Structure 1
């Protein structure tokens, strides 16, 4: 399975495969039709506390990554395993996120967890 990453605000493409939104909050100003989702997996997104610490309290990227990996391996490990099973039949999966930064976003870390 190939796992791609894409901003949810970008136009859907035929080669996106199975489209999964991996944000806890619905993206502002985006209709469900325009999002063209196959699944909204909000349970594997960073916790509200962790998201707020990263975006509002200046938590470093390294500290955010360590904390999110701990969440994925701990409290949300069952949700990650369920998502991995649901994605398995699809040759191409696109994880959708609303983050502007392509280098520092939770979808990168989630993809690592799903691929391991």
Structure 2
């Protein structure tokens, strides 16, 4: 399984493989053509309540990871569907967060690689 992470504001390249948006909301200022997505997994993204609670506050990062993993464990169908796609070649999770280390796509990647 080869999963890459890339901000929605970075240009797509062939090496991205299958590009999947893993955000509940569409990234601001990005057109569908610019995003060049193959799929959009809205329902696998953190819940609106969790996203708002986290607010990209670094101090909340450890608890955010724990809560988001719990949401993923409860979302078995979408996790299984995405995991199946990831086993078939290179996949790039496209996300909108500014923080390239502490974001939901990073948690999702680690979660899928652990199962």
SS of the counterpart of 1:81?
helix
1:106 aligns with 104
Which residue does the alignment assign to 2:68? Answer: 68
Number of residue-to-residue matches in the alignment: 114
- Aligned residue for 2:5, secondary structure, equals strand
Question: Structure 2 vs 1, CA of residues 58 and 86 (structure 1 numbering), >3 Å: closer, same or farther?
Answer: closer
RMSD of aligned Cα (Å): 1.6
* TM-score, normalised via structure 1 length: 0.91
1:56 Cα deviation from its structure 2 partner:
7.6
1:7·1:97 contact (CA, 8 Å) conserved in 2? yes
Q: Which of residues 90, 94, 110 is equivalent to 1:96?
A: 94
Alpha carbons of 1:24 and 1:72: their partners in 2 closer, same or farther (altered >3 Å)? same
Shift of 1:12: 0.4
Question: C-alpha separation between the residues in 2 aligned to 1:59 and 1:93?
Answer: 30
1:84 and 1:114 in contact (8 A); partners too:
yes
**Structure 1 residue ranges without an equivalent (≥5):** none
Q: Give the TM-score normalised by structure 2.
A: 0.92
C-alpha displacement at 1:114, in angstroms? Answer: 1.4
Q: 1:108 to 1:56 in 2, by over 3 A?
A: closer
Show structure 1 runs of 4+ deviating over 4 A.
Answer: 56-59
Distance in 1 between the 2:66 and 2:38 partners?
29
For structure 2, the residue ranges without an aligned partner over 5 or more in a row are none
